[in-house]
Amino acid sequence: MGRYAAIDIGTVTCRLFIADVDEGGLHELVRRSSIVNLGEGVDATGVLKPQAMERVRACVAQYQEIIESYASPDCPIALTAVATSASRDAENADEFARILAGEGVQLSVIPGTREAALSFMGASCDFAGERLLVVDSGGGSTEVIAGVGGEDPLVAHSFDIGCRRVTERLLAGDPPTGEELQAARELCQRNFQPFFDRLADRGFVPERMVAVAGTATSVVSVHEAMDPYDSSRVHGYCVSRDVLQVETRRLAGMTLEQRRTVTGLQPDRAPVIVAGMEILGQVLDCSGLGSFTVSESDILQGIIMAASSGRM
């Protein structure tokens, strides 16, 4: 059917995925991820910083070179680039889009509901027929989507709760204090619990929680002390609540500089990883489930699936 590329620009990361699509599904060619921290300070200021936009521009320029290396006259590549929470919140998102247009990239700033649907599409493809709870916890927002694998989502919500946002608001200590961590948990619980109460009222009881994005994959790579990172071991890994709690407490007890040296954790993710783990823990507690399955299939696969079927 063709060759497709997707760029996902989040609050913390900028990611590239290239795949061939045919009747048999998606066949991965390239996957890249860079921590760019586009959302640095957005929660407090409402604007994207010039240096943050420049970091993303430089990253996207590199990705464009990779995309071009996989294209040919006989095999053109259709590129879809989306931006999520930080860009949704920023007053100068139009300026950011113009900057990327200079690199030949047409950017779509998608609403949280669309982000949730695309994440569900990508993450649920391995769990057809199961009652799923898909959780995409990013830097500025967390999408929680319920539905049956392989079908359209039943219900979804995008919460303005993400690892960078929670860190900048509440976790000032180095290491964070017990009171700060408790405040973060309470913020999450207050926001997440009503969603799960409504889900229960509808009679939907999830069989599995599928967690995608950098926090979830980092839980596995840290717990297994991966060096280098091995996506084949991460994909499908089941993380119990006990394991998540142990790793959260371990990292929360470290200074930022100590976290930067932890095997399996990207140093640039160290400032926000504790908040990210606390968010996942609270979603898990509100769901009533005792574990989550980590998936390497997420919004990137969802974007390509939608683009290749004309539903983007």
* Closest listed residue to residue 123, CA positions, set 291, 282, 300: 300
Residues of the chain with pLDDT under 50: none
For the chain, give every residue range classified as CATH 3.30.420.40: 2-110
Tokens of 76: 């053109």
- What CA–CA distance (Å, rounded) separates 11 from 36? 8
State the CATH class of domain 113-294. Answer: alpha beta
226 φ, ψ (degrees, to nearest 5): -75, 125
* pLDDT value at residue 162: 94
142-148: strand order across its sheet: 155-159, 142-148, 131-137, 208-212, 291-294, 238-240
Q: What is the pLDDT of residues 234-270, one digit of tens each?
A: 999 999 999 999 999 999 999 999 999 999 999 999 9
For the chain, give every residue range classified as CATH 3.30.420.150: 113-294
Name the 3-class secondary structure at 310: coil
From 3.40.50.170, 3.40.50.2300, 3.30.420.40, 3.30.465.10, which CATH number describes the 2-110 domain? 3.30.420.40
pTM of the model: 0.85
Q: What is the pLDDT of residues 66-112, one digit of tens each?
A: 999 999 888 899 999 999 877 888 899 999 999 999 999 999 999 88
